[in-house]
Amino acid sequence: MPVVRALSKVAKQALQVQGCGCQPLTVAMRNISFSPRQVTSGSDASFHSVSFSETDHPKVLITGGLGQLGVGLAKLLRKRFGKNNVILSDIRKPPSHVFHSGPFIYSDILDYKNLREIVVNNRITWLVHYSALLSAVGESNVALARAVNITGLHNILDIAAEHGLRLFVPSTIGAFGPTSPRNPTPDLCVQRPRTIYGVSKVHAELMGEYYHHRYGLDFRCLRYPGIISADSQPGGGTTDYAVQIFHDAVKTGKFECNLKPDTQLPMMYIDDCLRATLEVMEAPAEILSMRTYNINAMSFTPEELAQEVRKQLPDLQMTYEVDHIRQAIADSWPMNFDDSNARNDWGWKHDYDLPELVQTMFNFIGSESRVAQAN
């Protein structure tokens, strides 16, 4: 049956149930039993990423763009591909400097029709899916985390497959659990996370790889370690202490850590994280031996970080008030990532170790503090 006729039939069926508390039309239409391949018309339909000539650039949509990583990635990609080729999106109103830095639109990943219109109307070719509830926040609202991290992902996968997008979905150290090897943790091993965040990220990895093998979707995924950045506030993750310590150290000279002093976790400075994301997205498909990679830069404990911070601020007072929920999460996560496959396949290499990270954070926060005092 031609696709148009098939959709018309489903639309009629969907309209018949609109008054009875059933699914809305757009959702009912998606529940028809056809594969994403059948949505495309034409005998030469392909679900691999669009290929670009040297003079062309991808048209990029970033969901969840006002989180820790979205604004920075948009800035990096706009330098590379042009200001108007990268669209930042979120459900929140952007601050003025973000709104005026390049295209920004409202996008709710739970609204399938809205997402589809954005992709079609803007001729999107790359989709970076950053919308998610992080580990600690997710545990406090499991129902919302399930909706955003799983249902939202399904919308993204279907639209990416239908329109032949190159799709990036980040994963995390939280995709592993207490039965995973922790030091080091390889790309392929047992994954039994015990948070809704971790469970949803394992689901994302497997669904993305399934869509790649089943429909040819150009799915790419990096397992991020804890990401440290100076120009964004912590977003509810278990590794947030490694960001907050710098702000508190500069403002008050004191910091209360919610993890034990010997809790070792993989970490990375944001510039390395964003560059890795761009590099894996630009990597030729034929050199990728897998679709989900670990990436890493360093591993440290709160006490080791405090020692490095005291080289800049010797009077820092560090105390510990352990959050048992976050500590339990951290104790189930990798202590160190094995990222040898990323380094061998597409040449991943980090720039920031712990001393460079600490110096860079203080340079940024110190200058920001001086500007604030001057104002």
Exposure of 92 by Cβ count < 10 A (0-12 exposed, 13-18 middle, 19+ buried)?
exposed
Q: What is the CA radius of gyration of the chain?
A: 22
The residue from 197, 224, 269, 352 that is catalytic is 197
* Terminal C-alpha separation, the chain: 67
262 φ, ψ (degrees, to nearest 5): -105, 20
Question: What token pair was written down for 116?
Answer: 């589809």
Q: Is 197 part of the annotated catalytic residue set?
A: yes
Across-strand partners of 223?
171, 294
Determine how β-strand 298-300 pairs with β-strand 265-269.
antiparallel
Q: Where are the alpha helices (DSSP H) in the chain?
A: 3-15, 25-30, 70-81, 96-99, 112-121, 135-140, 142-146, 152-162, 196-215, 241-251, 270-282, 302-309, 324-331, 340-346, 354-374
DSSP 16-54: TTGGGT---HHHHHHTSS--GGGGS-STT---SPPP--T
Q: In what order do the strands lie in the sheet with 298-300?
A: 226-228, 265-269, 298-300
Exposure of 183 by Cβ count < 10 A (0-12 exposed, 13-18 middle, 19+ buried)?
exposed
Whether the Cβ atoms of residue 103 and residue 109 lie closer than 8 Å to each other? no
Q: How many CB atoms lie within 10 A of CB 169?
A: 26
* Geometric angle at alpha carbon 157, from 2 and 240, rounded to 5°: 170
Whether the Cβ atoms of residue 146 and residue 203 lie closer than 8 Å to each other? no
Active site residues: 197
